[in-house]
Chains A and B, each alone.
Chain A
Amino acid sequence: MLNPFKWGLKKSPWVFHLGASACNNCDIEILDCLTPKFDIERFGIVLTGSPRHADVLLVSGIVNRQSIERFKRAYDQVPKPKLVVAIGVCACSADMFRDSYNFVRPVDEIIPVDVYVPGCPPKPEAIIAGIMKALGKIK
């Protein structure tokens, strides 16, 4: 028997979109998931406006010198248990911005990342699959 709270978490993951400093393409693909074509509300996923309401953080972009402090604070504002999904190669590995003067550290060296969704930008299907994979980690 699954614990009812865990069951709730699996069936109602509310996502918060944390743009670290993306080029905005990944962010647009995340918003695409909300459109009738993909309809993530089928899985109970709702996009929240406040990190306090979130269960899953969707991180996009590289973390730079300006955003790192805010990035860490936003992560701390999310109540436990929380999951992190890195969206796009920027968040996964910093890719082409690796040598930029403004780049600090890859996302997974700042906060724990549960699932990586590569792509530049990833397809909405891949993002949804990533969120569902992250939920599969709840035991």
Chain B
Amino acid sequence: MTDSLKLIFGYLIFPGLIFSAMVGMIACWIDRKVTARLQYRKGPPWYQPLADILKLLGKEMIVPEGVSNAVFLAAPLFGLSAAALVALILWQGNLDRSAGFIGDLIAALYLLTIPSLAMIIGGSSSRNPLSALGASREMKLILAYELPFTIAVFTIVVKAGSIMIGGVASHTAVLSVSGLIAFLVALLAAQAKMGFVPFDIAEAEQEIMAGPLLEYSGPGLALFKLTKDILFFVLPLFLITLFLGGIEVTTVAGIILAVLKYALILVLMVLIKNTNPRLKIDQAVRFFWGPVTLLAIAGFIFAVIGW
């Protein structure tokens, strides 16, 4: 009984839904503020992401005419529940390194694609040509970045000799040649997973409005935004676990180190975001399947020969 209560608490509050959403919102605000400062603007106040979500939750939800209610309304829930689950799995694997099950890394890898799948389902179910276009772009983007991302993850599996989150977290992969290469590849893929510039092709505000999210209003849109905020916590955590030796929160020094690692990834992401123009979808696919995959394979070979 207490075990299942603990699990529900872990999933819904800490470190699942609420906690990861909070950290994600702070990260989202930092991102917006830094972007604004770079453009010589003042930028939004600190509570901005929270205000956005609250407002959307209080608004009317319109389901477009002729759309399947079940699919349209369930799509954002899929994404949100998967994102919160990854937060829980990663956090547990980091804190208790012997916990977890064989292959939980693979489970996390699968769960991380579900938010993108939810976008595709929602976009294609909303009966809008621009949403469909956005969904198709998202699909191509997934095909493009998943290949190098998976190779990068398996580079670390070979390097650390473990396929469990606890095992790879105890290994600071980025200090070796193969680990560094895999880190770069995974960072680019994470950028695409977040839908950040230069890979915000699916949402492309200026050309196809908001792509798959175009027809969503009110709570549905709020859930998609929340999923994105949670991913802003989960993806850096995933990268830290794989490449930077995981996090430790039992000591003060450990907490400071964890925050520094998180900040490092955040800075890299915001930097890439603010210094690049958007790619076209064909360029993105060519980029990921060409140079990035070759780099990932090279990293994998280095890992096998022990560099």
Contacts and interface: CB of A to CB of B under 8 A. Distances in A.
Interface string B213-256: 11111100100000000000000000000000000000000000
A52 interface: yes
Nearest to B222: A8
A55 interface: yes
A53 B225 CA distance: 12
Contacts of B274: none
A104 B58 CA distance: 35
Given A49-B209, A79-B61, A11 B55 contact: yes
Interface in B183-237: 205-206, 209-210, 213-218, 221
Nearest to B58: A5
Contact of A11 (B48, B214, B218): B48
Nearest to A34: B41
B51 A7 contact: yes
A4 B59 contact: no
B201 to A, nearest CB: 15
B41 A39 contact: yes
B62 A9 contact: no
Interface string B36-50: 100111111101101
A36 interface: yes
A60 B45 CA distance: 29
A49 B217 CA distance: 12
B57 A5 contact: yes
Contact of B41 (A6, A12, A36, A77): A36
B55 A49 contact: no
Contacts of B60: 79-81
Contact of B210 (A6, A7, A36, A49): A49
A8 B51 contact: yes
B32 interface: yes
A50 interface: yes
Contacts of A41: 32, 36, 41-44
B260 interface: no
Nearest to A45: B44
B54 A79 contact: no
Contacts of B52: 8, 12, 44
Contacts of B266: none
A39 B39 CA distance: 10
A42 interface: yes
Interface in A1-40: 3-9, 11-12, 36, 39
B82 interface: no
B210 A48 contact: yes
Contacts of B221: 52-53
A5 B54 contact: yes
Contacts of B217: 52-53, 79
Q: What are the 7 A-B residue pairs with the smallest beta carbon separation, nearest first?
A: A5-B58, A8-B55, A8-B54, A49-B209, A11-B51, A79-B60, A52-B217
5 contacts: A4-B54, A7-B51, A12-B48, A41-B41, A79-B60
Interface of A: 3-9, 11-12, 36, 39, 41-42, 44, 48-50, 52-53, 55, 77, 79-81
Given A9-B55, A49-B206, 14 more contacts: A4-B54, A5-B58, A6-B58, A8-B52, A8-B57, A11-B45, A11-B51, A39-B41, A42-B42, A49-B209, A50-B213, A52-B216, A77-B62, A79-B62
